[in-house]
Structure formats: C-alpha cells, structure tokens
Amino acid sequence: MELRDRRDHESLPGPVGVGPAYRQTRSVPRRSEEAFEVTVLEPPSRLEVQGEIGRFRARVGYALEPTGSGTRLANAVELRSSGLLRLAAPLATSRVMSAVAANLDPLRQILERGDQRGVG
C-alpha cells in the first residue's frame, strides 16, 4: 500500500496512521483507481478506511482476532449513495466483499507458507 498526502500526492514516509490517504488499484469488476483515507487504526486488531468505490461512498473495515491456530480476519463493507443508485448498494456490497475475499486468499496462502517473496 502506498500512502499519499491528499494535498500534493507525494508518498508519505514512516508508519501508517489515522488521516493519511492512499490510492489503490483494483481489477474487479473492472480496473480502476480509488482513494481512501485511514479513519481507524488500532494495531494489531483493527483498520478502517473511507473513500469512493465507483459511484458509492464506502467504509471498509478489517478486524483481526487471535485464535488457537492462527488469526481470524473479519471484513465489513458499507456502501452509501443517493437516488436510484441506493437500490444497487446491496448488490454492489456483495461484489466488493467477494473481491476482497478473492484478494485476501493469496495473502493467506503466502502467510501460511511463510514465503516472503510474494510480499511487498
């Protein structure tokens, strides 16, 4: 993840914190670039970001909880819009959740293998 300052879009050095914005590129359902702002950061258990996904205002959260054999990751997505587009929010939320799950599975596999080549 590359953090960027909202004013001049220069990469930010140092640790991630609440406030900085970052840009992500995704490929599902189509390739696009989106901007998010870190709104909650409680290492090592919680991260929440807000931004735009397509024509929706989005809040995306991740919660990590230790288990006996590893870590459980819970993901929540909330999409908001106005007008007729509001009717599509539940379907769009489902698609975003599926895309997040598809992105996290390779990460899980890398972490389970202990393979650092795929990170970074």
User: Which H or E element spans position 89?
Assistant: helix 89-113
The confidence score (pLDDT) of residue 3 equals 38
Could you give the C-alpha distances from 49 to 19, 24, 35, in angstroms and in order? 9, 12, 10
CATH of 2-118, one of 3.30.530, 3.30.70, 3.30.300, 1.10.3210: 3.30.530
Predicted structure pTM score:
0.66
The 10s digit of each residue's pLDDT in 19-69 is 878 887 877 667 878 888 999 999 889 999 999 887 888 898 999 898 888
Residue ranges per structural domain of the chain: 2-118
